Amino acid sequence: MATLRGMTWDHVRGYAPLEAAAGKFGENRPDFEIVWDRRSLKDFGDYPVDELARQYDIIMIDHPHVGISSGQNVLVPLDERIPAAYLQDQEINSAGPSHQSYKWEGRQWALAVDAAAQVAAYRPDLLSEREVPRTWQQVRELGRSRPGAVGWPLCPTDAMCSFLSLCAGSDPAFFDERVGIDPAVGEAAVALIFELLPHLHPTSLDFNPIGMYDRMAAGNDIAYVPCAFGYTNYARRGFAPKRLRFADIPATSLEPRGSLLGGVGMAISAYSPHIQLAVEFAMFVASGDAQRTLYVENGGQPGHAGAWRDAAANATCGGFFADTTRTMEFSYVRPRNPAFPSFQEQAGALLHEALRKRSGGEAIAASGVVRAMNLLYRECLAAQNAFR
């Protein structure tokens, strides 16, 4: 029997649909099994893909890692193994730019089996659909009128993700991969977070989206979250004490543009002794039929647009897909050059420290935060160039 090892992340959305898919795929392959290991959400995002590739056959990855991973030759270029017609169907039926985000220098490095973007969330029993903010000005007004009712997960990783969403919503070309962030755009984004800080729920600086949604679903203090990666699980009946609903991210223009694209791609290790079998499994998981049925039914958040359009999938997930489709379609793909993953991690810590100090009453200037970020980016870029 061929035993493959897979690495995913430790949340029901991250492992349950993969385990179910492995069982279904194995019904016709008695010579096949996959053992899935799980990492915490932070470790999943930060752990080097090249090290994982030496331990696992199948690796769930974030798209910002494709640049550095492709240069290390640790992943299988899937376009060499998967028929062009299949990849074309994946591109046509991608949830937003999810499929394209795993393409780098003309090669396809993963299949987008999971899709996400930063969206808004609310408790419909605490905030009516009519009251849900559609613009950032309305978020300001809600925060001032109901102090603490607005929560915003601003732990280091998610503070940086929200900052990038605000920047991209203002100007999609805000990031120059040679020098970093446009100062005017970046300063405006930091200033908006600073402005809202005094009105946010006091746990905001401590939480990632999962922690915030858990708190939101368990108590009656948080009614609205303007910007966090969406999780269909919390829109499903019976998953948490109170059911959440999701909506488009607040707009800075006529459309909800700039939301940071998230999600997860299924990549295959170049070191695997079972590459072809792993590829066949990946194609099964990413197929439209599996994504719209088995994947959704087992807590997954599919990357195939067929599932986002499917009435049954939407009914299962409280309308999550229909209610956030525009945000997904207009989402922002982060730079994928080799320097960006390290920059994003370190810049998140830098921004979070600034938010802590600002929340504690220190006079922290938005301009200084952005200058420090750009200096950090150039250092990361120089380190990568020196490594090469």
The residues, any chain, with a CB within 8 Å of residue 115's CB and separated by 6 or more, are: 95, 96, 98, 262, 263, 301, 302, 303, 308, 328
- Does residue 366 share a domain with residue 347? yes
Residue-level pLDDT at 379:
97
Q: What range does the domain containing 270 cover? A: 2-115+262-324
Separation of alpha carbons 155 and 10, rounded Å: 18
> How many structural domains is the chain composed of?
2
Residue-level pLDDT at 261:
98
- Residue 250 domain-assigned (yes or no): yes
pTM recorded for the entire structure: 0.96
Residue-level pLDDT at 24:
95
Residue-level pLDDT at 16:
97
- Does residue 149 share a domain with residue 109? no
- Residue 180 domain-assigned (yes or no): yes
Residue-level pLDDT at 29:
84
Residue-level pLDDT at 81:
97
- Does residue 128 share a domain with residue 159? yes
Residue-level pLDDT at 254:
77
- Residue 332 domain-assigned (yes or no): no
- Residue 55 domain-assigned (yes or no): yes
- Does residue 343 share a domain with residue 301? no
Taking the CA atoms of residue 348, residue 352, residue 353 and residue 354 in that order, the dihedral angle to the nearest 10 degrees is 110
- Residue 370 domain-assigned (yes or no): yes
- Does residue 308 share a domain with residue 378? no
- Residue 331 domain-assigned (yes or no): no
- Does residue 250 share a domain with residue 132? yes
What's 96's domain CATH number? 3.40.190.10
Residue-level pLDDT at 388:
59
- From the list 2, 25, 76, 28, the residue with the least C-alpha distance to 265 is 76
Separation of alpha carbons 291 and 304, rounded Å: 6
DSSP letters spanning 88-138: HHHHHTBSTTHHHHTEETTEE--EEEE--BEEEEE-TTTS-GGGS-SBHHH
- Does residue 135 share a domain with residue 31? no
Residue-level pLDDT at 39:
86
- Residue 315 domain-assigned (yes or no): yes
Residue-level pLDDT at 271:
97
- Tell me the average confidence (pLDDT) per consecutive run of 10 residues in the chain, 388 residues long: 92 97 91 90 78 96 93 96 98 98 97 98 97 97 97 98 97 97 98 98 97 98 98 97 98 90 97 96 98 97 98 98 98 96 97 97 97 98 78
- Residue 373 domain-assigned (yes or no): yes
Pick from 289, 324, 359: which residue ends a domain?
324
- Does residue 224 share a domain with residue 164? yes
- Does residue 98 share a domain with residue 194? no
- Which DSSP category does 339 fall into? T
Pick from 298, 324, 350: which residue ends a domain?
324
- Does residue 132 share a domain with residue 85? no
SS3 62: coil
- Does residue 272 share a domain with residue 130? no
- Does residue 280 share a domain with residue 167? no
